[in-house]
Homo-oligomer: A and B are copies of this chain.
C-alpha cells in the first residue's frame, strides 16, 4: 500500500474542490521532500480506490501537477515526481498548513500619509443623514432601460472595449450644453473630465496641482473629506473663518499677503456643513484675489440643484474668463450616491493633465452608465426629476423645520436653510452628542454626532438631512429625538 493515501486528507465540506485538495497536498509533500525526485506515484486507479474518490478526480489532480511541472509522466511506466525540480526544502513555503484568510502580510507597510476618517453608517431604518437625496424618487426605471439599451445596441467591440479616459463623449456633450445653459458656464466637451464623484475631482486636483508643502486654504468649518485629500497630497492647510455669508475673503486676502497660496477650497453655493451661500460681493472678491495672487479655486458645487429661493446663484466658474476655477459637481445628489458619476470642469490643459493621471488610476469610467446618463440628460428625464425633487425637498424642508421648531425648540436652534438637503442644527450645550447619536441608532434612527466637523468641544452642531425621508419618517425621527432629549 502506498503511504501517500494515508497522508492525504479530504474534506468534502471544504470550499476547495477535491482534486485541488489532492494536488495541493501532493505538492506540499514534494516541496517538503516527503516525495523525493523520481519517486513513482500510485496509479490513478489505485489512489482513487484508496481515497474513495472517483478515478477522474485523481486524474485531474495528477494533470494539475503535470501541468505545473511537479510530476512527469513516462509512457508505459507511470507517473513520477519530476527529476529536474530544484532540491529545496524552503523554510515556511508550502510546509505550513494553509488556513483561509491571512491577517497580516509578510512585508512591511509604510506609515499612512493621512488619518482615515471613520465611515458613518445611517443604518437601514430612519435617518437624519448628512444630506442625502431620496433615491426612491430617482428615475430608476428610465435608468435601467437606458442602461440596457447602451449595453445591447451598436458596435459591441467599440462600445464595450476600452474607451476615452475623459469619459463618454456623448455625456460630455450633454453636460457641456446643460452646464452652459442652466449654470452659466462656458464650456466645450474638452473642458470636462467625467470623474467618479467629487472625491475623485478633489483627488486629481490635489495630486495634479499640489506639491508637498504647498499651502491650501479651507474654511472653518469645512468638509473634512477635502482636507484629507489635501493632506495626503502633502499640503499645508490654512483656515479662514466662515460666517453667515460663507468664507471670510478679507481674511483670505490678509493670508495671501503673507503666504503663497496654491489652492482655495470653497463650497460656494451651500457652504458645507453650514449650508449658507457665499455672498455676491465675496464671490467677486474671491475671483479677484485668485487672479491677483494666482491661486486655484476648487469650487465644490455638491448640491447646486437644490436651492429654494427663486433661482440659485450661478457658480464662480461662470465668471472666470482667466481660468482660475476648477468646478466640480456630480450626480450623487441628483440620482443616487451609488452612481459614481461626476464632472470636473476646467481649462483644456488642466483637463488633459488630469486625464493622464486618471489613466493610471482606473483607466476610464463606466462608459455604459455614462452613456445611459447622457441619454437621460438628452431626453430631459434628469432635469424633470430634479425639478420634481426640488419641490419635494422644499416641502420636506418646510415640514421638518416646523417640526423642529414646535417639538424641539428647547434643545435645538437653527436657521431655515435656503438650499441644500440638510439643516445645520445647534444642540443645547447640555447634550452629549456622541451618546445621543448612539442612543438614536439603537432606537432605529441613524444620525451623525457632528464631531467629524472639527468644532471645539461644547459646540454642539450637526447636520440633519431631511431630503431622504418623507413626512411620516421625518415625524417619527423627530419623535425619537424628542424622546432622547427630554
Q: Are B107 and A31 in contact (CB under 8 A)?
A: no
**Using a CB-CB cutoff of 8 Å, which residues 75-121 of chain A contact chain B?**
82, 84-86, 88, 90-94, 96, 98-110, 112, 114, 116, 119
**Using a CB-CB cutoff of 8 Å, which residues 39-68 of chain A contact chain B?**
60, 63-64, 66-68
**Using a CB-CB cutoff of 8 Å, which residues 426-450 of chain A contact chain B?**
none
Q: Are A349 and B156 in contact (CB under 8 A)?
A: no
CA distance A338 to B158 in the complex (A): 9
Interface residue? A152 (CB, 8 A):
yes
Q: A12-20, A391-399, A400-408, A454-462: which lies at the B interface?
A: A12-20
Q: A236-244, A316-324, A475-483: which lies at the B interface?
A: A316-324
**Inter-chain contacts of A211 with B (CB < 8 A):** 110
**Inter-chain contacts of A151 with B (CB < 8 A):** 140, 143-144, 147
**Inter-chain contacts of A141 with B (CB < 8 A):** 152
Q: A1-9, A360-368, A377-385, A409-417: which lies at the B interface?
A: A360-368
Contact flag A347-B135 (CB < 8 Å), given A291-B91, A362-B196, A366-B369: no
Q: Are A135 and B156 in contact (CB under 8 A)?
A: yes
Interface residue? A275 (CB, 8 A):
no
Interface residue? A160 (CB, 8 A):
yes
Interface residue? A221 (CB, 8 A):
no
- Which of these, B84, B195, B281, contacts A85 with CB under 8 Å? B281
CA distance A290 to B296 in the complex (A): 45
- Which of these, B94, B232, B291, contacts A319 with CB under 8 Å? B94
Contact flag A31-B228 (CB < 8 Å), given A15-B177, A199-B361: no
Interface residue? A306 (CB, 8 A):
no
Interface residue? A348 (CB, 8 A):
yes
- Which of these, B20, B160, B338, B366, contacts A163 with CB under 8 Å? B338
CA distance A281 to B83 in the complex (A): 11
Interface residue? A346 (CB, 8 A):
yes
Q: Are B67 and A287 in contact (CB under 8 A)?
A: no
**Inter-chain contacts of A350 with B (CB < 8 A):** 105, 109
Interface residue? A155 (CB, 8 A):
yes
- Which of these, B15, B70, B106, contacts A323 with CB under 8 Å? B106
Q: Are B322 and A92 in contact (CB under 8 A)?
A: yes
Q: Are A112 and B356 in contact (CB under 8 A)?
A: yes
- Which of these, B99, B155, B160, B197, contacts A363 with CB under 8 Å? B197
Interface residue? A138 (CB, 8 A):
yes
Interface residue? A336 (CB, 8 A):
yes
CA distance A88 to B70 in the complex (A): 81
Q: Are B144 and A93 in contact (CB under 8 A)?
A: no
**Inter-chain contacts of A474 with B (CB < 8 A):** none
Contact flag A105-B349 (CB < 8 Å), given A68-B314, A337-B160: yes
- Which of these, B161, B321, B324, contacts A96 with CB under 8 Å? B321
**Inter-chain contacts of A67 with B (CB < 8 A):** 309-313
Q: Are B93 and A209 in contact (CB under 8 A)?
A: no
**Inter-chain contacts of A94 with B (CB < 8 A):** 284, 319, 321
Which single residue of chain B is at the shortest CB-CB distance from A149? B144
- Which of these, B70, B100, B309, B322, contacts A188 with CB under 8 Å? B100
Residue-wise, chain A 338-359 has the 8 Å CB interface mask toward B (1 for contact) of 1110000011111001001001
Contact flag A160-B147 (CB < 8 Å), given A66-B310, A110-B211: no
Contact flag A160-B336 (CB < 8 Å), given A93-B322, A360-B225: yes
- Which of these, B15, B114, B288, contacts A181 with CB under 8 Å? B15
- Which of these, B102, B294, B338, contacts A107 with CB under 8 Å? B294
**Using a CB-CB cutoff of 8 Å, which residues 188-231 of chain A contact chain B?**
188, 190-191, 195-197, 199-200, 202-203, 208-209, 211, 225, 228-229
**Using a CB-CB cutoff of 8 Å, which residues 142-199 of chain A contact chain B?**
143-144, 147-148, 151-152, 155-163, 165, 176-177, 180-182, 184, 186-188, 190-191, 195-197, 199
Q: How many Å from the CB of A301 to the closest CB on chain B?
A: 15
Q: Are B93 and A291 in contact (CB under 8 A)?
A: yes
CA distance A90 to B140 in the complex (A): 46
Listed A/B pairs (19) with beta-carbon separation below 8 Å: A64-B314, A92-B322, A94-B284, A98-B186, A99-B186, A102-B191, A102-B348, A105-B346, A109-B353, A116-B356, A140-B151, A144-B152, A160-B338, A199-B362, A203-B360, A225-B360, A338-B367, A340-B362, A340-B365
The 9 closest A-B pairs by CB, nearest first: A69-B280, A101-B188, A196-B362, A105-B347, A106-B322, A160-B336, A135-B160, A105-B323, A160-B338
